[in-house]
Amino acid sequence: MAELLRIESLSAGYGKATVLHSVNLSVEPGTAVALLGRNGVGKTTTLNTIVGLTRYRSGSIRLQGTAIQGMPPERRVEAGIGWVPQERGIFRSLTVEENITAVARPGRWTLSAVYDLFPRLKERRSNLGNQLSGGEQQMLSIGRALVLNPILLLLDEPTEGLAPIIVEELLAAIRRIVRGEGLAAIIVEQHAQQLLAITDKAIILDRGSVAYSGDSSRLAEDRQTLGKFLGVGTTE
Residue spans of the domains in the chain: they are 26-49+81-230
Residue 188 CA to its chain's centroid (Å): 6
Percent of the chain having pLDDT more than 70?
Answer: 98
Q: What is the pLDDT of residue 191?
A: 85
Q: What is the pLDDT of residue 158?
A: 94
Q: What is the pLDDT of residue 233?
A: 54
Cα(184)–Cα(187) distance, integer angstroms = 10
Cα(162)–Cα(132) distance, integer angstroms = 13
Instruction: Assign 222 a pLDDT band (cuts: 50, 70, 90).
Output: very high
Average per-residue pLDDT in the chain?
94
Q: What is the pLDDT of residue 232?
A: 72
- Strand arrangement, sheet containing 55-63: 17-27, 5-14, 55-63, 66-67
Mean pLDDT on 33-45: 96
Q: Residues 32, 184: contact at Cβ < 8 Å?
A: yes
Assess whether pLDDT exceeds 80 at residue 206: yes
Q: Residues 53, 86: contact at Cβ < 8 Å?
A: no
DSSP bridge pairs for 62: 6, 67
Contacts of 60 (CB under 8 A, 6+ apart): 6, 7, 8, 9, 10, 67, 69
pLDDT, tens digit, 9 for 90 and up, residues 152-202: 999 999 999 899 999 999 999 999 999 999 999 999 988 899 999 999 999
Q: Residues 139, 115: contact at Cβ < 8 Å?
A: no
Q: What is the pLDDT of residue 235?
A: 42
Which amino acid is residue 177, in one-letter code? Answer: I
Superfamily of structural domain 26-49+81-230: P-loop containing nucleotide triphosphate hydrolases (3.40.50.300)
Residue (of 141, 174, 139) closest to 34 by Cα position: 174
Phi and psi of 106, rounded to 5°? -60, 145
Q: Give the predicted TM-score (pTM) of the model.
A: 0.94
Percent of the chain having pLDDT more than 90?
Answer: 92
Mean pLDDT on 77-86: 95
Cα(143)–Cα(125) distance, integer angstroms = 12
Q: What is the pLDDT of residue 88?
A: 87
Contacts of 59 (CB under 8 A, 6+ apart): 7, 8, 9, 10, 11, 12, 22, 23, 69
Q: What is the pLDDT of residue 1?
A: 57
Assess whether pLDDT exceeds 70 at residue 148: yes
Q: Residues 83, 76: contact at Cβ < 8 Å?
A: no
